[in-house]
Structure 1
Amino acid sequence: MASQGKYSSRQFWQQLLPKIVIAPSFALILFFVYGFIAWTTYISFSRSRMLPNYNLDGVRPYEKLWNSLTWQVALENLAIFGILYIVICCALGLLLAILLDQKIRIEGGLRPIFLYPMALSFIVTGTAWKWFLNPGLGLEKTMHELGWESFSFDWLINPDMAIYTIVIAGVWQTSGFVMAMFLAGLRGIDSEMLKAAQLDGASSFQMYRRIIIPQLRPVFLSAFIVLAHMAIKSYDLVIALTGGGPGNATALPATFMYSYTFSRNQMAVGSASAIIMLMTIAAIIIPYLYSELKEPKHGEH
């Protein structure tokens, strides 16, 4: 009986100890993440300006938000940046993965080179590309010094083209990460299926188009989720590269939120933009998580 009591006590503490260890972290996350989400939601319906004001103002902050020309420009820029960023990263990442999947000798050296940009912060990436694309410091000046006086690349200071410099820097940083995702997917495809296709006379192009790429659909979906999430919350890359300019030419919802909250003293409007961004991200991620959880496990029918 004594041994049975000791066993029950030990089993009790084994079950309780993990909960005790996790409890402080869970409490901090509950307060600093979900608590502040709830606080921001409340502020977005308030009369807050420079400082929080807990008197409710209904949906007026949201009306001001959607009537703001800067917010409309930010949404247009997000559409341009997001679509180009996701499409180019996926296309380039898939191409690089296919090339590395050919079992080339220098694969071990190329993979770190392609992945290295992802190890940098967006601040570093934005600063480096700002120097490179600056007409007075980078590519254009170098070409002029080499004798090509007619060369011009002023996208960084051109309001119509500045948003595309954000795309260039973002693709440079993230395409290697997408390549790694596709490469893992390619390495997971059943080799016996590919050998059978080769015996049937299928060319390499036909195998990729009809067998390999269709099986990479989950990787495409995962890449889309990650890239869309990064595009919506992009802030530091824009600030480091263009500062949101020239004018509002490269403003995004994240830069709008910061500007209206801390520079223009419109905390309620800035909070409303943050809630819109959160809802957009949730609209992308929640269906994906639901589909992942809904899939039957191996052995279940």
Structure 2
Amino acid sequence: MARKKSIADRFADWLPRLVLAPSLLAVIVGVYLFIAWTGWISVSSSKMVPQYDFVGLEQYYRLWATPRWHTAVANLFIFSALFLAVTIAVGLIMAILLDQNIRAEGALRAVYLYPMALSFIVTGTAWKWILNPNLGIQKVVNGLGWESFVFNWITQPDFAIYTIVIAAVWQSSGFAMAIFLAGLRGIDNSVIKAAQIEGASLPRIYASIIVPMLRPAFLSVIVLLSYISIKNFDLVLAMTNGGPGSATEVPSTFMFSSVFRRNQMGVGAASAIMMLMTVAAIIIPYLYSELKEGRDGH
């Protein structure tokens, strides 16, 4: 006959649920409830204040008819493509170099990872000073005697978006390096030794054997960096505030401006939902592939 559980046993069974309940409630209210609220506002006639009527997809039509939104989307594609490509390349190269068991590896790893410890506001402010023609690189080089040197990208509408890429790559390369280095350290050294016995050079081993084995690390880096690029707001706000003009406008700054500067809450909510759908289009396939591999592995 089964022994009846005591009050202490029941409390022990419920304790994990009680501990997790506040966090779960905060996530439900602070994330999912507000996502649902934003979705409803995006199909309402809300402008300065929320309205709870229903106008269908009118706000989405207005969103896609706005030239600034097209600029923001174009900038997002430019920023994301360059940010992912350069950050992955720099992170992979740094990880491969650190994987050679060089001296002071711990110190170098800390130096590479340090920028990731800074907030994007701090990074943006610092790079705004560095790239300011009257304060930063251009002024320093001119002061050294090279009067014809010009590096004023941050003030040029055609080049300003690339300064955002420079700052973002500087901050995130160490993060990519850490993931790639963890992947490299998880590869059996016998694979490298076997290839060396066959006469393969070290660059050939990395290019043909090691790097293809880093597929899970590549997938993780691409997903995480894509998420960072889509929600990029602090960096743009600190460096250029979306300018000059709207040259560095991205969806996140467009959303902020629509709600708090132009009193277009419905359009801002619609842009937020578009960003959410973009993130979901990246995250859901990744989670599905991870769960599928987990089931197949078992």
With the shorter chain as reference, the TM-score category is over 0.9
The counterpart of 2:56, out of the listed 55, 58, 70, is: 58
Aligned partners of 2:55, 2:18: CA distance in 1, in Å? 42
Q: Classify 1:299/1:149 alpha carbon distance in 2 versus 1 (closer, same or farther; 3 Å).
A: closer
Residue 83 in structure 1 maps to residue 81 in structure 2: yes
Does residue 4 (structure 1) correspond to residue 3 (structure 2)? The answer is yes
Q: Cα 1:189–1:141, aligned 2, differ >3 Å: closer, same or farther?
A: same
Q: Find the counterpart in structure 2 of residue 151 from structure 1.
A: 149
Partners of 2:22 and 2:98 lie apart in 1 by 44
How much does 1:9 deviate? 4.2
Matches within 5 A, 1:1-301: 4-5=3-4, 7-296=5-294, 300=298
- 1:44/1:299 Cα in 2 relative to 1: closer, same or farther (>3 Å)? closer
CA distance in 1, matches of 2:106, 2:221: 23
Separation in structure 1 between the aligned mates of residue 264 and residue 237 of structure 2, nearest angstrom: 20
In the alignment, residue 160 of structure 2 is paired with which amino acid? A
TM-score normalized by structure 2?
0.97
CA distance in 2, matches of 1:192, 1:140: 50
Counterpart-to-counterpart distance in 1, 2:151 and 2:271: 34
Partners of 1:72 and 1:277 lie apart in 2 by 13
Deviation at 1:11, TM superposition (A): 3.4
CA distance in 1: counterparts of 2:228 and 2:297, whole angstroms: 35
Which runs of 5 or more structure 2 residues have no equivalent in the other structure? none
1:297 deviation in Å?
5.3
The one-letter code of the counterpart of 1:232 is I
| Letter paired with 1:40 | T
CA distance in 2, matches of 1:256, 1:59: 19
Q: Secondary structure at the match of 1:179?
A: helix
- Larger displacement relative to structure 2 (288-297 or 210-219): 288-297
Q: Give the superposition deviation at 1:148.
A: 0.6
* Structure 2 CA distance for aligned equivalents of residues 297 and 190 of structure 1: 24
Superposed CA deviations along residues 230-275 of structure 1, whole A, max 9, x for unmatched, are: 0000000000001100000000000000000110000000000000
Which amino acid is the alignment partner of residue 151 of structure 2?
A: F
* Structure 1 residue 19, shift from structure 2 partner: 1.0
Task: Report the AA paired with residue 114 of structure 2.
Answer: Y
| Deviation larger for 162-171 or 104-113 | 104-113
Distance 1:170 1:157 in 2: 18
RMSD: 1.4
1:14 deviation in Å?
Answer: 2.0
Give the partner amino acid of 1:226.
Answer: L
Whole-angstrom distance in 2 between the partners of 1:176 and 1:26: 32
**Number of residue pairs aligned between Structure 1 and Structure 2:** 298
The letter of the residue matching 1:193 is: V
What is the CA-CA distance between 1:8 and the residue it aligns to?
5.0
Q: CA deviation at 1:167?
A: 0.2
Q: Deviations over 1:202-234 (max 9, x none)?
A: 111221111100000110110000000000000
- Percent of aligned positions with the same letter in both sequences? 58
CA distance in 1, matches of 2:210, 2:48: 55
Letter of the 1:4 counterpart: R
Shift of 1:109: 1.1
> Which sits farther off after the overlay, 219-228 or 28-37?
28-37
Question: Structure 1: how far apart are the matches of 2:58 and 2:106?
Answer: 56
